[in-house]
Structure 1
Amino acid sequence: MSYLIICTVALLASALTFFSGFGLGTLLLPAFALFFPIEQAVALTAIVHFLNSLFKLALTGRHADRRVVVRFGLPAIVMSFLGAWALIWLAGITPMFSYSAFGRVVSVTPVKLVVGLLLLLFALLEFLPRFRSLSFGAQYMPLGGALSGFFGGLSGMQGALRSAFLSRAGLTKEAFIATGVVIACLIDFSRLAIYSTALARESAGFDYGLLAAAVVAAFAGAALGNSYLRKMTMPGIQRLVAVMLVVVALGLVSGLL
């Protein structure tokens, strides 16, 4: 069941979000969270997201705007380190409290609470039309990079913020896509450098076959999106995903996941 759910989500998310700021990580994290502890789910999602971004980079990277990459990407790199460190630190804190539910003892840990609240925040923002059309002037580009990098490192939630700031950068459609992919690669590379120590400690418990299958499914979805889905709109898909994010977020905050 884990292979079916995660690979299906990876394939569809990668295809449907190829031209959207509502990214693969936002969709894939809840799927991984159903089967792995949240800190592992964030790290595994980052691996799939990074490798998929590299694949997209090969498809579109030549159109990236270097000026925007520097102004947005450098603050994003710095803050993604801080966000990733925050995730590792939170994962090491003991549960805040425990209680009995559905015949078992469940625990609410700080890392579940923080990531769950962030998921809930981003999901609720997806229901607000004003937020979906929100954009910022070019002078706020470094701030956008810092926010996108920090939340990317902490929870993987970076695509929506990145798009809100890049949408006013005066980029062509091709440059908007490619620049976003380059910045996503920078953030993913930075946070994976921090996650790697924790990943190495728990590597014996990973399902590498599932991880590889998710990466292949995401590659296939990216190729599909690049070929066939240039005109697809996202509002309906985003609302559906937002509902799923709310469910997963409530599960994390309550300790049931």
Structure 2
Amino acid sequence: MKISYIFLLLALVAEIIGTIGGFGSSVFFVPLGNFYFDFYSVLGMTAIFHLSSNVSKIFLFKKGLDKKLLLYIGVPSVIFVIAGGFLSKVVDSGSLEIVLGVFLVVFSLLFLIKTEIIVLPNKRNSVIGGALSGFSAGLLGTGGAIRGLTMAAFNLEKSAFIATSAFIDFMIDFSRTFVYYENGYIGKQELTYLPFLFVIGLVGTYLGKRILHYIPQDKFRKISLILILLIGLATITKLGFDHLG
């Protein structure tokens, strides 16, 4: 099988940006992957790709781990990613991707324009955000942006943001890998890309961490929200082109 090196280069860029944004590479990796592979292959690749990249983030940013958010966001994320993974075989992914794209655009713009909005860092908001991000990750392959919106509202220090998000993401990916394998999403093609994606996950995370040193804390939240906005617009644009044929 021929390896697409352009796709691998784009995967590296997605990993670097995902590390800087703090919400993982899948929000870019999934839309990019859909240009090269079918939707279900991308789901399988995303799960195995994320396992390596999130191990790297946990190792590099482990000192900033927020254990309370890990519990409140992580547990519902794992429960709902399993449900979303099983539903992915029976639900129309196109309409759900449109909903996801619109959601990301609206909420990122809301937080960018209405900077005075404060989401209280309480258990209820954490659990809801975790459940939504986990379900979206299982169903669409990407839930990090929803989790990013939730965690950005808590205004965490950037190391704590990335470490906590990566640990939650690892729990999500570990769980959905088994579901996707059972669904038949991880086969010979996906496993062929595994060693390449593993190295990209390590290198991209390291480069992203180096770049983060040059980003002031007060700029970090805004950059994360801008990236989420671009992801939403890219998702909607791609689906529009698909609809037009």
TM-score (norm 1): 0.77
Match of 1:215 in 2: 198
Show the counterpart of 2:101: 120
Aligned CA RMSD, in angstroms, stands at: 2.8
Corresponding residue for 1:154? 139
**8 Å CA contact 1:11, 1:219 repeated in 2:** no
Mapped partners of 1:124, 1:63: distance in 2: 28
Q: Could you give the per-residue CA deviations for residues 176-206 of structure 1, whole angstroms, max 9, x where no partner exists?
A: 2111111111111122221111237x614x1
1:93 corresponds in structure 2 to none
1:203 maps to 187
- TM-score (structure 2 length as normaliser): 0.81
- Please say which of residues 26-35 and 240-249 is displaced more in the overlay: 240-249
Which residue in 1 is equivalent to 2:90? Answer: 89
Partners of 2:227 and 2:72 lie apart in 1 by: 31
Please point out which of 123, 137, 155 is paired with 2:120.
137
Query: Shift of the alpha carbon at 1:82?
Result: 0.9
> Given residue 202 of structure 2, which amino acid in structure 1 is its aligned partner?
F
Corresponding position: 1:37 with 2:42: no
1:28 is matched with 29
User: CA–CA distance in 1 between the matches of 2:153 and 2:100?
Assistant: 25
Unaligned runs of 5+ in 2: none
Give the whole-Å Cα distance in 2 for the aligned partners of 1:149 and 1:238: 17
Q: Which has the larger share of helix?
A: 2
Output the amino acid matched with 1:130.
Answer: L
Find the counterpart in structure 1 of residue 240 from structure 2. 250
Aligned to 1:178: 163
Give the Cα–Cα distance (whole angstroms) in 2 for the partners of residues 88 and 157 of structure 1: 16
Q: Which moved more, 1:47-56 or 1:228-237?
A: 228-237
CA contact (8 A) 2:23 2:162 kept: no
Q: Which amino acid aligns with 2:144?
A: G
Q: Distance in 2 between matches of 1:220 and 1:203?
A: 25
For residues 242 and 170 of structure 1, what CA distance do their matches in structure 2 show? 21
The answer (yes or no) to whether the contact 1:135–1:167 under 8 Å persists in 2 is: no
Number of residue pairs the alignment of both structures matches:
232
Q: Give the deviation of 1:26 after TM superposition.
A: 1.0
Structure-2 change in CA distance of 1:20 and 1:212 (3 Å): same
| 1:51-70 alignment runs, 5 A limit | 51-70=52-71
Structure 1's 75 and 22: CA in aligned 2 closer, same or farther, altered over 3 A? Answer: closer
Tell me by how many angstroms 1:242 deviates. 4.5
User: How much has 1:121 moved relative to structure 2?
Assistant: 2.3
Q: What are the superposed Cα offsets for residues 136-177 of structure 1, whole Å, 9 maximum, x if unpaired? A: 322211111111111111113322221222234464322121
Give the partner amino acid of 1:250: G
Unaligned ranges ≥5, structure 1: 91-109
Give the drift of 1:35: 2.2
